[in-house]
Amino acid sequence: MKAIEPQLLADSLRAECGVLKLLAKTLDSNADEFLAKVRPAAAQWVDATHSAPDIALLEMSKVGVNKAATLSEFAASRGIPAEAVVAFGDMPNDVEMLAWAGRGYAMASGHESALAATDLVAPGIDDDGVAQVIEQLLAQQQG
């Protein structure tokens, strides 16, 4: 992969420009190290996160734009309070959503930041953890 000279994109983040998400990749570090460098440097312009443990690919969106904000709007539009929402996540891009949802489940095989965001842990992805929790929740409602 050819190295690319970085460019300042602050003007591109204005609402009228229509930029929804920026991606940045490096070959010089892992995703967590890259995120630790970028977050403080870009915090006034974007919220940075990542969703792929094996690739140092960051996702950057306008400050406040994340899964929690989107899920909150969706739930509110249907009259569903946060306490009634069940969410599952395994990576740093899920942290806000897990904290917002009434029942936010981190996957047991998930990233440490997802696990730290909630007290609820679902079995890992390889163990069909989402399905297991949904089955348990449905059984509780019926019983």
Each residue of 45-103: pLDDT tens digit?
A: 899 999 988 899 999 998 999 999 999 999 999 999 999 999 999 999 999 999 999 99
Q: Is residue 2 part of a domain?
A: no
Q: pTM for the full model?
A: 0.84
Q: Is the pLDDT of residue 1 over 70?
A: no
Same domain for 130 and 75?
yes
Same domain for 80 and 134?
yes
Q: Is residue 37 part of a domain?
A: yes
Q: Is the pLDDT of residue 10 over 90?
A: no
Q: What is the CA radius of gyration of the chain?
A: 17
For residue 94, what is the DSSP state? Answer: G
Same domain for 71 and 138?
yes
pLDDT band at 13 (very low <50, low <70, confident <90, very high): low
pLDDT for the residue 143: 74
Dmax of the chain from CA atoms?
Answer: 60
Which pair of tokens denotes residue 92? 């740093």
Parent domain of 52: 10-62
Same domain for 78 and 58?
no
> Please, which contacts does 23-30 make with residues 24 or more away whose CB atoms are closer than 8 Å?
23/57, 23/58, 23/59, 23/60, 24/57, 24/58, 24/60, 25/55, 25/56, 25/57, 25/58, 26/56, 27/1, 27/56, 28/56, 29/56, 30/56
Same domain for 56 and 73?
no
Average model confidence (pLDDT) across the chain: 90
